[in-house]
Amino acid sequence: MYTHFDKWKQKLRRPELVELAIFFHDVIYEGTAKEDELKSADVYRTFAEEAGQPEADVELVYRWIVATATHAVVEEDTYDGYFFMDFDMAILGVDQTQYTAYVQSVKEEYMNLKGYQKIPFVWEVMWCWGRPKAMSNFLKVPNIYSTKEFQTNLESRARENLQEEIGKLLFHRNLFLAICTVFGVIVTGLALKCAATVWF
């Protein structure tokens, strides 16, 4: 995020607030959806109040941090808030190699945080079911990015990355279902054969 912050800093009206939001937005990272963002925002609020920041600024940064849980931007949000959200979403619009590495990193992080290191197969199944649903939400909105700058530079690439990732996951999910179906037919056939042997 700091790379994009440095690049677009001159366009921001309150860069110091955006920088605080960037620093604190993942200060708590336990792999718990929405709770991490709320906890991170609470840590920021405590810091800001102790530092004597104006209440209006505190509320603004707090709202930005919480918003990263859903990446939902509301019309009342500020110009800087749009940029902050786009900084957080910028990873979706990197080149294919970087995006693949990013997805793999997220997958491994969550597997470790959720305690599935010893049973990766179970996590693989859960990932193929849950990830497409989560990522497809980004494709349902008219624009992934809120600012013209990011829409121009990253929107198209981000949509391509998401569509490709979702396609691969759905393929693996359908393959798993097909294997389970075949396995179920084989087991059922063997069971019926055994039953016939026992009773007849």
Q: What confidence score (pLDDT) does residue 85 get?
A: 95
Give the model's pLDDT for residue 187. Answer: 66
Provide the token pair at 117. Answer: 């290191």
Q: Is 189 left (phi over 0), alpha (psi -120 to 50) or beta?
A: alpha
Do 138 and 162 meet the contact criterion of CB atoms below 8 Å apart?
yes
Residues 105 and 36 in one domain: no
- My answer on whether 29 and 105 are in the same domain is no
Q: End-to-end CA distance of the chain, in Å?
A: 71
pLDDT, residue 193, reads: 61
Taking the C-alpha atoms of residue 41 and residue 112, their distance in angstroms, rounded to an integer, is 24
Last residue of a domain, one of 73, 93, 113: 93
Q: How many domains does the chain have?
A: 2
105/200 same-domain check: yes
How far apart, in whole angstroms, are the C-alpha atoms of residue 130 and residue 108? 15
One domain, residues 177 and 187? yes
At 160 the pLDDT is: 97
List, run by run, the mean pLDDT of 10-residue segments along the chain (200 residues): 94 96 92 82 96 95 91 73 95 96 88 72 82 92 94 97 95 82 71 54
pLDDT value at residue 199: 47
Same structural domain, 78 and 139: no
pTM, to two decimals:
0.82
Provide the CA 187 distance to its chain's centre, in angstroms: 38
Shared domain for 100 and 198, answered yes or no, is: yes
**Residue 57 DSSP symbol:** H
In this prediction, residue 189 carries a pLDDT of 64
What's the farthest any 2 CA atoms get from each other in the chain? 85
Q: Which domain holds residue 1?
A: 1-93
Q: Show which of 93, 118, 146 is a domain's final residue.
A: 93
Q: Of 72, 93, 114, which residue is a domain's last?
A: 93
Q: How many CA atoms lie within 13 A of 85 on its CB side?
A: 25
**pLDDT score, position 14:** 95
Q: Are residue 85 and residue 71 in the same domain, yes or no?
A: yes
**Are both 3 and 83 inside the same structural domain?**
yes
